[in-house]
Amino acid sequence: AGEGKKVAEEGKKEAEKGKKVAARVNRKRKHSSGGETNSKNDRGERSEQKEEEKRSEEDEEERSEEDEKRRLKKAIKKAMNEVRRLRHLVIVEATDREASEKEVRMKDKELNREKERRMKAEEDVKRMKARLAEMKKNKMKTKDQIIEDKELEMNCIRKEKDDEIGNLTKTIRSMGKTIRSLEEEKTRSKERIVTLDGKWKAGKKLNEEMKIMIGMKDNNLQSENIQLRESNEALIKKIAELEERGDSEETKGEVLRLRNEVEALNN
């Protein structure tokens, strides 16, 4: 996300630079439009040297336009690569969020199973206690036999039940710890889901901002390119008109000045 913001800031700077260049070109066009002279010298024939200079200027203009196109393509390609990288990050975060939600569902199922086992263990303890109470009420045997049998039976049962109750008590305590651990894990998983959801929304918002910035940058660069080309064409046309009017010192000075402006625009 930090790199995406950096690219967005660079896009803003390029857009401002394009506006400044376009304003400069407009000022030069206004200045050049007022500098026309009405030379009354007869038109002379163009020399071979002047034609060669004109062709060289046209070749230079074409090379400058090609360089500008290549620079624009590189800038757009860089911005599109950044958009694709951000889109991949958004997909990865969405996948992590789905995995966390699945993990929470599994923890819920495990928690329910542990609760069911604990309830079953408590019911077993209740049944054992009810059986002991029922055995105490049995008075079918003689008193001595009952006492002897009861003592023997109760000792065996007491030992057996004490062991079982002890084991069940340990199991219940262990289940309680497991349940608390699962509840804490569930809480952490939910917090992670909230964090991932916030990152996903932030990435989505940044992706939309990048698309808008790329569109603005592309439009400004195209506008700058068109304005530079129009200014170049106007100046070259002006030079041709002045050359056709004659070779006076005033005309030569104006031609030299306009050529300097063409070179400045190409640079």
For residue range 195-224, list pLDDT tens digits in order.
Answer: 888 888 887 888 788 788 877 877 777 777
The token pair that represents 79 in the structure block: 């911005």
The whole-number average pLDDT for the span 243-251 is 63
How far apart CA 256 and CA 242 sit, in angstroms, is 10
How far apart CA 241 and CA 44 sit, in angstroms, is 11
How far apart CA 41 and CA 48 sit, in angstroms, is 20
Structure confidence by residue, pLDDT tens digits, 172-181: 888 888 888 8
Q: Domain segments of the chain: what residues?
A: 2-35+44-266
pLDDT at 39: 43
How far apart CA 187 and CA 108 sit, in angstroms, is 11
The token pair that represents 239 in the structure block: 């030079």
When mean pLDDT is compared over 4-8, 49-53, 71-75, 134-138, the highest value belongs to 71-75
User: Is the pLDDT score of 138 beyond 70?
Assistant: no
